[in-house]
Structure 1
């Protein structure tokens, strides 16, 4: 057991985690090596509110550019 690879994470104290890594992974079960841990594939969290979808981000950038252009026009008057 002591010869098995160790987890590569750092604890809150800044010391390396001494728990053994999950087989085939670089982290222990507490630091993300457990089955099902981690973020979902393809940023599925963005779909919950729609705030960070690609379409929404493009629209906000376009609106912000229109606002900047409008301010510039008013300053030139």
Structure 2
């Protein structure tokens, strides 16, 4: 049997998964998915999209955009309070 006749030859020659077992410390040794350094069991190509397309999306009030907007607003309020105190002390 020739090597190219065997359907597993591609899997056997593929790069190996770089994930390690927490319990034994040994490498996974499964074939890595093309374009990834880990196998399909260890997260290659997995996960949900970020933002509104994620199934757990609720309201977005903890998104990076809202966090930066709140920080900017808080900074403006602090500056306004500091100016108000300066005005009161000069009177």
Which bin holds the TM-score, normalised by the shorter protein? 0.5 to 0.7
Normalised TM-score (structure 1): 0.56
Normalised TM-score (structure 2): 0.50
CA 1:66–1:15 in 2, change beyond 3 Å: closer, same or farther?
same
8 Å contact 1:8–1:16 — kept in the other structure? Answer: no
Match of 2:78 among 61, 68, 72: 68
Please provide the CA RMSD for this pair. 3.3
Higher Rg: 2
Q: Which runs of 4+ in 1 moved over 6 A?
A: none
User: Which residue is equivalent to 2:43?
Assistant: 32
Q: Which has the larger share of helix?
A: 2
1:1-77 mapped onto 2 (5 Å cutoff): 4-13=14-23, 15-24=25-34, 25-33=36-44, 37-40=46-49, 43-44=50-51, 45=54, 48-51=58-61, 52=63, 54=65, 56-76=66-86, 77=89
**How many positions carry a matched residue from both structures?**
72
